[in-house]
Amino acid sequence: MNKITIISFLLLFLFYSSAMGQNAEPAKIRYSLGYEVGLIQTKEENLIPKVHHGVANFLDFRIEKKDDSYRLFQFQLGYDKLKTAIENEAISFNGYCFCIMRDLKFNIF
């Protein structure tokens, strides 16, 4: 083999290996299902000030995708029962929550 062939082979190998180092990683996708429990307290300022308190339950499902940008889709369902000490009923009021969230973040530089 002559010198030109060997040098061209080495240059081709060096440029190929440096170009292969810049390949992007495949996107990472993560699915999660969560359950949240929280305490809620709401104050009502009508003729008779009342404080409603109770427990809230939330169930959410989210999909996160991370590559050169970050994407998030979240779906959440919630339910709560609130009670006040002034009223004699078992439940003052029920609350329902239905939430869909979409988030997109990306790098500028």
Residue 7 lies in a domain: no
User: How many folded domains does the chain comprise?
Assistant: 1
Residue 6 lies in a domain: no
Q: Is a pLDDT exceeding 80 seen at residue 102?
A: yes
Q: Is a pLDDT exceeding 80 seen at residue 19?
A: no
Show the domain range for 76.
Answer: 23-106
Q: Would you place residue 20 in the very low, low, confident or very high pLDDT band (cuts 50, 70, 90)?
A: low
pLDDT (0 to 100) of residue 7: 76
Widest distance between CA atoms in the chain: 100
Residue 5 lies in a domain: no
Is pLDDT larger for residue 14 or for residue 3? 3
Amino acid at 70: Y
Q: Is a pLDDT exceeding 90 seen at residue 92?
A: no
- Which 3 state secondary structure label does DSSP give 91? coil
pTM of full prediction above 0.85: no
Q: Is a pLDDT exceeding 70 seen at residue 85?
A: yes
pLDDT (0 to 100) of residue 13: 62
Residue 71 contacts by C-beta under 8 Å, 6 or more apart in sequence? 64, 65, 103, 104, 105
Amino acid at 98: F
Q: Is a pLDDT exceeding 80 seen at residue 56?
A: yes
